[in-house]
Structure 1
Amino acid sequence: MASPPSFLLDKCPLLEDPIASLEPNTDSMSDLEVERVLAGTKSTIEALFRDYGSVGGSVGIARNGKHTFIEFGSQDPTTNEPVDRDTIYLISSMAKPFTSLAVAMLANDDKIDISLTSPVKNFLPELQGNDFLAHTGQPITIADLLNHQSDFLRCTNLWESPNGFIPWQDVAPLLSLFQTLPRNPKFRYPHCFRHARNYSNESYALLAEIVERLTGKPWTRFIRDRILRPLGLTSTVVGLTESEHAERGQPGSSKIALSFAVPVSETLSRLSAAHGDAAAYDVVHPWVINNLPQLTAQRVSPSQARHAAAGTLSSTPIGAAAGIMSSARDLLKFYEHFMEVYNDVEKGRDQGQAATNGTGQPTDVDRIRQGMATLHGHIKDMMAADESCTYAAGWNTVNVPWDPKSATRWPGADGDNSRRIEKSTREMGQPSSAAAEAWHFLQQQHGPDTTAPTTQKETELALFHGGNMVGATSFCLLLPARQAAVVVLCNTRGFFVDAANLAGMLLSECLFRGPQGDEMAALCARTRATAAHLAASYVRDLQRYELVLARDYYSLPVLDASKNGGDCEYASCCGTFQLVPGVVARVSWAPAPAGASASEAGDIDGNCNVNGGANNSETRGGRRQLTLALNGQPAWAYPLRLKTGCSPRHNSCIMTFAMPMGELVRAGVGGNNRLEARDFEVTFRNTAATAVDGLPLPTQFQELVWVFDRSWLADPHSLEGVDLGAFTFRRLSPGGPGV
């Protein structure tokens, strides 16, 4: 077997032979003690959390009915209050299996006319006439939403916002969008859905709305009453009322964890001082291993957790995709039911048919298990139809051990880790085997040898999901046939490395293979090497992003508060612009952050003109800057930067609301999905005037264009011939002073 790529061997002498031929050890699994796995991996997991800045995490393992837990770090480093198995974290996208279960339960209700094959338009008539499945010409079904199989555009950018604010409080803007948006040309053919499914939080918001219309109650009430309460999940919360918040305590209490993010500025400064502003990966990788500073997370407040769990029982439908909070203990209870049902289905046992308590009707728990059986049946059907199916019924799906030469996704490499493995190996010019070696978990064989024939081996289903949101990361993986599951919850958005995901995969590998002695040590060493690879990839991409942002855009001048933008040429950009009803962008002069440095473009005079290019350090307290607020919400506004060569004296003017990562991290936003300034470019267009240099300014720009679906921007040719009217926000209100 060939040796791993050199970038994995640095500083990791144990990566050679001990696991080169390691295969699942089902015999040892029967006798494997979870405590031994935890003892053998604990120091590595502690290092992942510590070295990459995570504040605290709770880890749980279930096997054959036994639950075991370990904890790392604290809820709050200022108080050192420890986390435990009952600490409540935001689980972000790990909320999706709860929502899919709610839908499946309704599909089993004789009083409600819905099935997984029902067209969505039957329940959301606003979508009548929109099929959203260009490759079939068929109307989108409930199952399509559950499986992320649609070709409507990704709209996540429209509701993404720092400081935990979730702007959409009902589903109306989404329905309005889907009536008007074009299809995404990336998803024209069936294989696109199988291998690169159009992952969409908005799909789950639509499912929440369907649950509400069919039951006549908020989806949060259904989740609480029909799933959480019967299963005794007392530390799983959604849609808390104010009185319930008072009872449970605010984030930072003994029950709900605070949220943190990891700063990046010091790392970039040290790298630039050592190697300049455009270091190559082969320079960055050893530098990260040897010079990464001690990372101290900073609190994100208000946190996404506070907003996700707060408010009323009619909380935002986006919460169905990412707004549930839970604990390690509760999630293992939930997953154990799921795995028990899987094995009952596989053995031909009925689910929930026996009447109890003399009522002649299934109990609430029976109904839950019926719903789980329906989901398992759907997953099995999807995998039977195409074993490369990567998502079904609210779960990432994969058969393990997997073959790196034939699979298109790495099992468990979710979120930021998945994007970095894929991107960095592709840009390094490495073959797919190198990518597979970088993500070494749950493979049929180890090493980059692609010439040896693949041996047909028996596989089993693994289900996994991750979650990444403001101030929180989470991960779980289930091996239902073995009644084994791993869950890792963390109160930090790590950015450098998703430590929850990586720790969870290490434990999953150990549960799957049952390694002994040197084999487990080798797995731990590989995991540390993978972490260094992921961190180096992020630092390099981050440095490149900052360089592009500084080179291609410059900060707009900052006004005295008394001027308020009234005599500034950029006042022509101000106003409220609407894409569709309920989706607006507000451009205005907003107070600059207290203590922030003055405009990098230079000093300004009373007419808002830039004088020179001096980098002055005057603070901006009491001053104003041009900002864009999505959905018109004042909770947060992104400062706008002008693209080099553009001017508001032209008929069109390009700006970006991308920000230096140091500023975004302070607000709890960041990650690989933010590292393209072009993704956040907006173009102001003037349709009424013909102003050019030397002529009077246009009174107002009438339109603001933003192509918010990143998958369009990934291919420069995808916008050729596309009518940008679908991405055009049109002015609703005049601009000028005070806007």
Structure 2
Amino acid sequence: MAATNLAVSRVFGFHHESTEVVHEEAIGKRDTNRYQPTSEVPRRHRQDSVSIRTLDNPYSPKVSATSTLIDDTSYSATLPKQPSLPLSVEEILTLTKPTIERLLQDSGSVGASMGVLRHGKQHFLNLGARGLGVTAVPDQKTVYLISSMTKPIIATAVGILMDDFPRYQLDFGTRVSAVLPELKGSPGMLKTYTKQELTIGDLLDLRSSFQWMTNLWESPDGDVPWRTTDPVVSLLQHLPVNDTYTSHEAFVYNRNYSNECFALLAAIIERKTGYSWAKFVRQMVLEPLAMHNTFAGLSEAERNDMSRTFAKSHSVQVPGIMPELLQCTDADGVICRAKITKCFERHHGHIPQSVEILPSQASNAGAVGPSPLAAAAGIMSTTSDLLKFYRKIMDVYAERQRQQGSKLFPFPGHISTPLERGMNHLFAHIESRLSPDPFSRTCTYTGGWNTVTVPLTSEERNASPRPRWPGADGDNARRLESAIQSKVHGDDLDYTFFVTKPEPHVAEINTETEKPPITDPSESKKHLALYHGGNMVGATSFCWLLPDHETAVVVLCNTRGFLLDAANLSGMLLAECLFLAESDSRHDTGSLVEAVRMACEHTERMARAIQIDYLYDLARYEHHLASRFRELDPASNGIDTEGLEGRYEFAQDVFITITAEKRGLVLRLYGTGYGYLLRELDDKKAPENGGLEKTMTFAQPMAELIPSGVGGTNRLKVKDFVVVFKREKAAGEWEGFEWNFARGKTPRERRRDTTPYFWRRAREKGT
């Protein structure tokens, strides 16, 4: 597919000048009233210390506050009053906006919508454009693909099923095969070390021994060929379990991220209710919350509805810097990270180019309804709608905290609807999964959420193995860890969010006439946070909930830029600053402004390290592909490709076709969609094998992939896409090829015997 638009991201208007800026002096005036009784401090004085006016520039951000989120919340009157904050949400958005703009610009993002829910009030920040060539700014009603942020919604639907146990006979301990008997006896359905069958709770917690399957269904152009769970069932019956886990404790408290877990949950919803999973979610989750701009399975009529605004989809490429990156080698011809760093510094600010692409097909309803894999990553929504969902979650959590004596039973007059009771079941499960060991409970995936207790103590932060960083997700987390270990950026590069709070600075007071501030004992306690990221073709997203602070942050972005996940970092920056600004009598406003500025500086430093690490990986990938593999000559009259064409089957419903086309030998998953050009290992560097093997790869230069979208399957390792054709005789027919699509999750005993990953040539279609 040809790209429909191409532009340098710098032109997208992220440099916004407001008529007034935040001055420490203006904010600091409130400190003179710091220790007056609350009734004597004018509330308007606090909220109006920053004036924001949107300029005529269509790309300028809009910051607004609205009334309470859900007007008919049955127990809103019982919620505590909004405390007096040292910094308002509007001030935090203003202080962090320049950094967020730089993150979006540096990542090549075209536009983003951000929402903050704080003590029942919504606040929005919208930046950039809905799409390339579009002048309109996105807003809180702009519809985006939320990708894996779909999972908490599906988990809530499963909780609703559990609430009606007499009807559905489903709980967290129910074996998956009891609902999907076709999986009975499948190797992949056994828990590592216990050899017990996986349960519904295990699927919700991403605790499985599944092999990595994403390479088999996420196409670069956004197509999702699996329309049913049949391929998942077939693979689980065929594949051995992986060796992700090294102990029973590791299995219990770690995740094996698998979208297929939620595809199976979608199948369970359908099997139990008789409805499509999308219809059940709409009726039981979306409609009760009036989430009218949220779609589980988007029809063509809905996509063409002119009353709604959909964000376009974009990818990011770096063609201007690519030739120079490939020259960053040492004396041995190996890509050098230090030289990559210098190259980045020379070009910083002029690196990414944004490309408009077709949207991911994960959100499409299709002729028979949305794919079950869309239950893992296919819902579309808005910041406004998602804050409704997160508000309800935090309301249920607040009521649980007030009624600690009751765990699984509805609270009269409060948790009374199926939706609320379903969320209540999930919280009971989440609480049961938090380890009593403080070093283990810092981060666990459970109930469709990454859960973490914050802030981390210095001991927890430095524990071995180091815990996953609160909020850090996907490529950002992986690349920041790589950057830290490389030492190229110095010894003090680290992830600093939710580790320590700023040192308190108490304003000077006359103790003879004024009472000194009293430290809130609750400040030393841990706070449960829920978060999730999202990353699919053309879109990225992030959300963070801190229920006992009544705070939620959501970021939706219309760009998937592997250079940097700006949605994740922007959301974490906002979450950290809101956490710092929570009411605390030990801090004055000036110290909090400084803490927010430091958080912005740390974020930009982390972003720099992540971008450099991506360029380093990209240069190694392109260098390896160009130096080790060669394109087949289409003019060779079939000599290079002779005997390789055909259909190759791995398991039932899982196959690949290889065809000779004008540009060369082309591989396609399931015979349709994106065509990968095969390249052969350079004969001069190939080991002698007597003509019994031919090693090829369908890894593609990123310049060819990006205009189509780039699926999340590409982790910039050529070996992930190497196929080895085999035959018994030098002049014989090729019998098939080996391709280990599971990457690093192959069982140890199978790493030399790759038979489980052999794709056998089909003599006739379907044999």
With normalisation by structure 2, the TM-score equals: 0.78
Residue 571 of structure 1 corresponds to which residue in structure 2? Answer: 642
Residue 743 of structure 2 corresponds to which residue in structure 1? Answer: 710
Question: Aligned partners of 2:528 and 2:751: how far apart in 1?
Answer: 43
Residue 341 of structure 2 corresponds to which residue in structure 1? Answer: 285
Residue 140 of structure 1 corresponds to which residue in structure 2? Answer: 198
Quickly say closer, same or farther: Cα 1:734–1:267, change in 2 above 3 A: farther
Residue 585 of structure 2 corresponds to which residue in structure 1? Answer: none
From 592, 614, 623, the equivalent of 1:538 is 614
Question: Aligned partners of 2:652 and 2:324: how far apart in 1?
Answer: 47
Greater CA drift, 722-731 or 654-663: 722-731
Q: Which amino acid aligns with 1:571?
A: E
Confirm whether residue 628 of structure 1 aligns to residue 682 of structure 2.
no
Residue 515 of structure 2 corresponds to which residue in structure 1? Answer: none
From 82, 86, 101, the equivalent of 1:46 is 101
Measured against aligned partners, the alpha-carbon deviations of 1:545-592 in whole angstroms (never above 9, x if no partner) come to 1111112211122249xx6xxx434131111011111000111123xx
Q: Is the 8 A contact 1:148 1:203 kept in 2?
A: yes
Count of aligned pairs between the two proteins:
639
SS in 2 for 1:116: coil
Confirm whether residue 178 of structure 1 aligns to residue 178 of structure 2.
no
Question: Aligned partners of 1:245 and 1:540: how far apart in 2?
Answer: 39
Q: Which amino acid aligns with 2:227?
A: Q
SS in 2 for 1:184: coil
Question: Aligned partners of 1:719 and 1:677: how far apart in 2?
Answer: 23
Could you list the runs of 5+ residues in structure 2 that have no partner in the other structure?
Answer: 1-81, 504-522, 582-590
Question: Aligned partners of 2:488 and 2:325: how far apart in 1?
Answer: 23
Question: Aligned partners of 1:497 and 1:189: how far apart in 2?
Answer: 34
State the 1:244 CA deviation.
2.8
Residue 90 of structure 1 corresponds to which residue in structure 2? Answer: 145
Q: Is the 8 A contact 2:657 2:667 kept in 1?
A: yes
Measured against aligned partners, the alpha-carbon deviations of 1:502-527 in whole angstroms (never above 9, x if no partner) come to 11011000011116222221211111
Q: Is the 8 A contact 2:315 2:357 kept in 1?
A: no
Question: Aligned partners of 1:56 and 1:559: how far apart in 2?
Answer: 45
Residue 303 of structure 1 corresponds to which residue in structure 2? Answer: 359
Question: Aligned partners of 1:522 and 1:429: how far apart in 2?
Answer: 22
Residue 77 of structure 1 corresponds to which residue in structure 2? Answer: 132
Q: Is the 8 A contact 1:285 1:532 kept in 2?
A: no
Measured against aligned partners, the alpha-carbon deviations of 1:396-447 in whole angstroms (never above 9, x if no partner) come to 111100131135100111011011012232344999x85xx52211113799
Residue 280 of structure 2 corresponds to which residue in structure 1? Answer: 222
Measured against aligned partners, the alpha-carbon deviations of 1:680-731 in whole angstroms (never above 9, x if no partner) come to 11111114xx11xxxxx43x31112111112236xxx936565423211111
State the 1:121 CA deviation.
0.7
State the 1:133 CA deviation.
0.8
Residue 257 of structure 1 corresponds to which residue in structure 2? Answer: 311
Residue 731 of structure 1 corresponds to which residue in structure 2? Answer: 761
From 270, 284, 290, the equivalent of 1:212 is 270
Measured against aligned partners, the alpha-carbon deviations of 1:373-401 in whole angstroms (never above 9, x if no partner) come to 11111111111455145200110111100
Q: Which amino acid aligns with 2:736?
A: E
Measured against aligned partners, the alpha-carbon deviations of 1:5-57 in whole angstroms (never above 9, x if no partner) come to xxxxxxxxxxxxxxxxxxxxxx9874541001001101110111112210000
Q: Is the 8 A contact 1:474 1:490 kept in 2?
A: yes
From 462, 469, 487, the equivalent of 1:410 is 469
State the 1:125 CA deviation.
0.8
Residue 551 of structure 2 corresponds to which residue in structure 1? Answer: 484
Measured against aligned partners, the alpha-carbon deviations of 1:447-490 in whole angstroms (never above 9, x if no partner) come to 9xxxxxxxx94211111100111111100111011010111110
Q: Which amino acid aligns with 1:417?
A: N
Residue 296 of structure 2 corresponds to which residue in structure 1? Answer: 238
State the 1:197 CA deviation.
1.7
Quickly say closer, same or farther: Cα 1:228–1:312, change in 2 above 3 A: farther
Residue 14 of structure 1 corresponds to which residue in structure 2? Answer: none
State the 1:286 CA deviation.
4.3
Residue 599 of structure 1 corresponds to which residue in structure 2? Answer: none
Residue 674 of structure 1 corresponds to which residue in structure 2? Answer: 715
Please tell me the root mean square deviation across aligned C-alpha atoms, in Å.
Answer: 2.9
Residue 223 of structure 2 corresponds to which residue in structure 1? Answer: 165
Q: Is the 8 A contact 1:495 1:671 kept in 2?
A: no
Measured against aligned partners, the alpha-carbon deviations of 1:256-284 in whole angstroms (never above 9, x if no partner) come to 11111111222222334577874533333
Could you list the runs of 5+ residues in structure 1 that have no partner in the other structure?
Answer: 1-26, 357-361, 448-455, 591-622, 692-696
Question: Aligned partners of 1:183 and 1:722: how far apart in 2?
Answer: 16
Residue 634 of structure 2 corresponds to which residue in structure 1? Answer: 558
Question: Aligned partners of 1:269 and 1:499: how far apart in 2?
Answer: 25
Question: Aligned partners of 2:133 and 2:250: how far apart in 1?
Answer: 47
Question: Aligned partners of 1:464 and 1:81: how far apart in 2?
Answer: 30
Confirm whether residue 112 of structure 1 aligns to residue 168 of structure 2.
yes
Greater CA drift, 156-165 or 306-315: 306-315
SS in 1 for 2:610: helix
Residue 605 of structure 2 corresponds to which residue in structure 1? Answer: 529
SS in 2 for 1:478: strand
Q: Is the 8 A contact 2:362 2:377 kept in 1?
A: no
State the 1:734 CA deviation.
6.5
Question: Aligned partners of 1:414 and 1:653: how far apart in 2?
Answer: 38
Measured against aligned partners, the alpha-carbon deviations of 1:596-636 in whole angstroms (never above 9, x if no partner) come to xxxxxxxxxxxxxxxxxxxxxxxxxxx2311111122x211
Question: Aligned partners of 2:690 and 2:135: how far apart in 1?
Answer: 55
Confirm whether residue 639 of structure 1 aligns to residue 677 of structure 2.
yes
Residue 700 of structure 2 corresponds to which residue in structure 1? Answer: 659
Q: Is the 8 A contact 1:241 1:313 kept in 2?
A: no
Q: Is the 8 A contact 1:209 1:219 kept in 2?
A: yes
From 245, 248, 254, the equivalent of 1:187 is 245
From 103, 106, 123, the equivalent of 2:158 is 103
Q: Is the 8 A contact 2:641 2:660 kept in 1?
A: no
SS in 2 for 1:507: helix
State the 1:541 CA deviation.
1.2
Question: Aligned partners of 2:489 and 2:609: how far apart in 1?
Answer: 14
Residue 579 of structure 2 corresponds to which residue in structure 1? Answer: 512
Quickly say closer, same or farther: Cα 1:228–1:234, change in 2 above 3 A: same
From 413, 419, 422, the equivalent of 1:371 is 422
From 259, 266, 270, the equivalent of 2:320 is 266
Q: Which amino acid aligns with 1:499?
A: A
Question: Aligned partners of 1:309 and 1:659: how far apart in 2?
Answer: 27
State the 1:221 CA deviation.
0.8
From 421, 429, 432, the equivalent of 2:480 is 421
Residue 350 of structure 2 corresponds to which residue in structure 1? Answer: 294
Residue 36 of structure 1 corresponds to which residue in structure 2? Answer: 91
State the 1:223 CA deviation.
1.0
Question: Aligned partners of 2:137 and 2:182: how far apart in 1?
Answer: 49
Question: Aligned partners of 2:499 and 2:149: how far apart in 1?
Answer: 24
